[in-house]
A and B are shown apart, each in its own frame.
Chain A
Amino acid sequence: MSGNHDRGLALYRTMRRIRVFEEVALEAYRNGEFPGFLHSSIGQEAIPAGVCANLGAEDRLTSTHRGHGHGLAKGAAVDPMMAELYGRATGACGGKGGSMHIADFSVGMLGANGIVSGGLPIAVGAAQGLKLLGSHAIVACFFGDGATNRGPFLEALNWAALYQLPVLFVCEDNTFSAFTYTAGTTAGAGPLARAQACGIDGVSIDGNDVALVDETARRLVDEVRASGRPAFLHARTYRWFGHTATDMAAYRRPSELDEAKKRDPLVVQAQRLTGEGVSPATLAAIDAEVDAEMIRARDLAREAPFPPLSAAFTDVQDAGAPTWR
């Protein structure tokens, strides 16, 4: 492996891990191996991969209902993440959260969130708390285009600008708000314009080019860290699957998905790397390693025990804690 391509290969590997994690999860879900909602981020992998490559261990991240990629890219261990999907005791949240609430505080991943725009106020508050504590860590706040029509989006932008907080807002614009084209429900010139109206500057980029996301995020993260002020990254992408694993996306325009797949972020990066002289065998080796990693995580999750029933009554509250009955 050539040293010149280490970063590009690492970005490729992160995207591949997100892709295969979700492919394995989708297959298991369709086999009926676990219930609930599974929101796939397939097609969007370049954004968490490119952004999180520029975050340090102390930096925090808030996520969304489509958050598997954020966790993996921030360094969350994969086995507990997969076990969490299965609701097992070995899950990242002991099985009590599931896909929509995966968190790994040990790597600064402050939680996926079942509420659209739920992470935005938490992100600005985390930044405010870190500032009060004298930390130099920053917060990356991921959210989708659908979140930009909710009130907390405006509130949090205003808040971060007002108090000069080190937050990188990352809008993963995957074209859809649940079952609806966001463009059809959104007035004005888009997410970046809304941020700029609050005095937060940033850029709008092709979110399927991981090298571009990486380069842009590096600049924005550096700015946020140096200035202590917020910045905004609007990354345009496309959601390959439906809103959830059971949504067949019948509302999608014909041929749109085929067009989007021509801009598969993994293919874009693979072509770049091979064009730069990386051998296809190197990429194939990464693919094989990642496949094995995710299959192993799935097999471990399948074999893991469910939490004891008493676990339903733990971690509610100390005062007035429920009793198991």
Chain B
Amino acid sequence: MALMSFAEASSRAMAEEMRRDRTVWLLGEDVRHGGVFAQYKGLMDEFGPSRVVDTPIAEATIMGAGLGAALVGTRPVIEMRIADFVMPAMDELVNQIAKARYMFGGQARAAVVVRMPHGLLKGSAAQHSQTIENWFVNLPGVVVVAPATAADLAGAIKAAIRSDDPVILFDPKSHWKTVEDVPETVEPITFGKAARRREGTDATLVTWSQALPAVLAAADAAAERGRSIEVIDLVSLWPWDREAVAASVRKTGRLLIAQEGGVDGGFGSEVLATTLETVGPARLKAARRLGAPRIPVPFSPPLEALVTLTPERVTAALDALMA
């Protein structure tokens, strides 16, 4: 194990993959300088400007060029800077990348990685702080991963680069400087495999991405009050580990899904519905979804707090679940 930041874990995983496979390359804004969050530090020095391509602010062509390059046999990592900026590139992602294999009858593989740092970043307001992973779960053709730990981020990068499917990787953007233990050798994650972050018997708490720290803090607080909470980090949202959630709920009988993004139409609804269908109402005694209200992310700090997933809000939701 080595202590490193999310940004360092990212840079190391990228460098290892680029050394392993010469067809892997990176394109995006400001990647020359190591990326806006230092998540690509050192890559320019080692791999040069033909494989670390600093682009204009031209999201549609960043995305579409990545697809074109994949169609001729390279493996591009497409950096979107932040998830909010994918909007000008939605045609290229949704209409082109996600469907290329299918609509061409299997002739094409869009083996791209689309990295989108997402989620709440303090003070970033409505256009720089969105949590929108659920949009893409609804999109056939893509894998969606939203890792919560530095080790999983590195493993997700490796798995995504080696995947022949297009992979949308949501980087937890508030955590770039957070330091965690990362194995010396990171293996690629398996898409659709959740991680149990805490064992428990009284309730199942499902989360992903940068909601995990608040969830773990709430689970710790619950333990002090004698409640045993099982925490499942989904890591991957499509495919996702239905079996792990169902198995946990069969044991605990109670399910709380805590997500940073909006509750309404959020992925938590999918988790709840699927789990209910799987285990049946007799086994699921109580369930709740926690997440943001259906408002844009406001700037003013006390207003922003209303869309922030805090340990206190998770605790309140757990109390309601257990009541």
Residues of A within 8 A of B (CB): 60, 62, 91-97, 101, 103-106, 110-111, 113-115, 118, 120-133, 135, 139, 151-152, 155-156, 158-159, 162-163, 314-320, 322
By a CB distance below 8 angstroms, the chain A residues around B107 are 93, 103-106
Are the C-beta atoms of A133 and B73 separated by less than 8 Å?
yes
Residues of B within 8 A of A (CB): 23, 25, 50-51, 53, 55-56, 58, 60-61, 63-74, 76, 88, 91-92, 95-96, 100-108, 140-143, 163-166, 191-192, 238-240
List the A residue with the shortest CB-CB distance to B95.
Answer: A115
User: How near does chain B come to A99, taking the closest CB pair, in angstroms?
Assistant: 11
Given A129-B69, A132-B23, A162-B56, 6 more pairs with CB closer than 8 A: A93-B107, A110-B68, A113-B96, A121-B92, A125-B76, A317-B141
By a CB distance below 8 angstroms, the chain B residues around A152 are 60-61, 64, 91-92
List the A residue with the shortest CB-CB distance to B70.
Answer: A129
Inter-chain residue pair count (beta carbon < 8 A):
163
Scoring A62, A97, A104, A155 by chain B CB atoms within 10 A of each residue's CB, the highest score goes to A155
Are the C-beta atoms of B64 and A125 separated by less than 8 Å?
yes
Contact of B68 among A127, A133, A163, A320 (CB under 8 A): A127
Contact of B105 among A93, A135, A162 (CB under 8 A): A93
Contact of B65 among A104, A114, A125, A151 (CB under 8 A): A125
Are the C-beta atoms of A132 and B106 separated by less than 8 Å?
no
By a CB distance below 8 angstroms, the chain B residues around A319 are 143, 163, 165, 191-192, 239
Say yes or no: A159-B56 contact (C-beta < 8 A), given A97-B104, A111-B108, A318-B165: yes
Q: List 20 A-B contacts (CB under 8 A).
A: A97-B105, A103-B107, A104-B107, A114-B95, A121-B61, A122-B67, A124-B68, A125-B67, A129-B76, A130-B72, A132-B25, A132-B74, A135-B72, A152-B91, A155-B56, A156-B65, A315-B102, A316-B102, A317-B143, A319-B163
A265 CA / B56 CA spacing, docked (Å): 40
By a CB distance below 8 angstroms, the chain B residues around A131 are 50
List the B residue with the shortest CB-CB distance to A126.
Answer: B68
Say yes or no: A128-B61 contact (C-beta < 8 A), given A315-B105, A320-B143: no
Scoring B55, B56, B107, B191 by chain A CB atoms within 10 A of each residue's CB, the highest score goes to B107
User: How near does chain A come to B187, taking the closest CB pair, in angstroms?
Assistant: 16
By a CB distance below 8 angstroms, the chain B residues around A120 are 61, 64
By a CB distance below 8 angstroms, the chain B residues around A113 are 96
List the A residue with the shortest CB-CB distance to B68.
Answer: A125
Say yes or no: A155-B105 contact (C-beta < 8 A), given A129-B68, A129-B70: no
By a CB distance below 8 angstroms, the chain B residues around A105 are 71, 104, 107-108
By a CB distance below 8 angstroms, the chain A residues around B67 are 121-122, 125
Say yes or no: A132-B51 contact (C-beta < 8 A), given A96-B105, A103-B107: yes
Say yes or no: A322-B65 contact (C-beta < 8 A), given A96-B103, A118-B91: no
Are the C-beta atoms of B63 and A133 separated by less than 8 Å?
no
A130 CA / B25 CA spacing, docked (Å): 13
User: How near does chain B come to A116, taking the closest CB pair, in angstroms?
Assistant: 10
User: How near does chain B come to A228, taking the closest CB pair, in angstroms?
Assistant: 13
List the A residue with the shortest CB-CB distance to B106.
Answer: A315
By a CB distance below 8 angstroms, the chain A residues around B66 are 125
User: How near does chain A come to B313, taking the closest CB pair, in angstroms?
Assistant: 30
A247 CA / B191 CA spacing, docked (Å): 46
A122 CA / B100 CA spacing, docked (Å): 11
Are the C-beta atoms of B143 and A129 separated by less than 8 Å?
no
Say yes or no: A125-B69 contact (C-beta < 8 A), given A133-B23, A319-B143, A320-B239: yes
Are the C-beta atoms of A122 and B71 separated by less than 8 Å?
yes
Are the C-beta atoms of A111 and B68 separated by less than 8 Å?
no
Are the C-beta atoms of A158 and B58 separated by less than 8 Å?
yes
A123 CA / B192 CA spacing, docked (Å): 33
A158 CA / B55 CA spacing, docked (Å): 10
User: How near does chain A come to B166, taking the closest CB pair, in angstroms?
Assistant: 8
List the B residue with the shortest CB-CB distance to A158.
Answer: B56
Are the C-beta atoms of B74 and A129 separated by less than 8 Å?
yes
Are the C-beta atoms of A315 and B23 separated by less than 8 Å?
no
A315 CA / B60 CA spacing, docked (Å): 25
User: How near does chain A come to B135, taking the closest CB pair, in angstroms?
Assistant: 16
Scoring A124, A130, A131, A319 by chain B CB atoms within 10 A of each residue's CB, the highest score goes to A319
By a CB distance below 8 angstroms, the chain A residues around B96 are 113, 115, 118, 122
Scoring B66, B69, B101 by chain A CB atoms within 10 A of each residue's CB, the highest score goes to B69
A23 CA / B73 CA spacing, docked (Å): 36
Scoring A120, A130, A135, A152 by chain B CB atoms within 10 A of each residue's CB, the highest score goes to A152
User: How near does chain B come to A154, taking the closest CB pair, in angstroms?
Assistant: 8
User: How near does chain A come to B86, taking the closest CB pair, in angstroms?
Assistant: 14
By a CB distance below 8 angstroms, the chain A residues around B240 are 320
By a CB distance below 8 angstroms, the chain A residues around B102 are 96, 315-316
By a CB distance below 8 angstroms, the chain A residues around B88 are 151
Are the C-beta atoms of B73 and A121 separated by less than 8 Å?
no
A318 CA / B111 CA spacing, docked (Å): 11
Are the C-beta atoms of A314 and B106 separated by less than 8 Å?
yes
Are the C-beta atoms of B108 and A320 separated by less than 8 Å?
no
Are the C-beta atoms of B140 and A322 separated by less than 8 Å?
yes
By a CB distance below 8 angstroms, the chain A residues around B106 are 94, 314-315
A314 CA / B141 CA spacing, docked (Å): 11
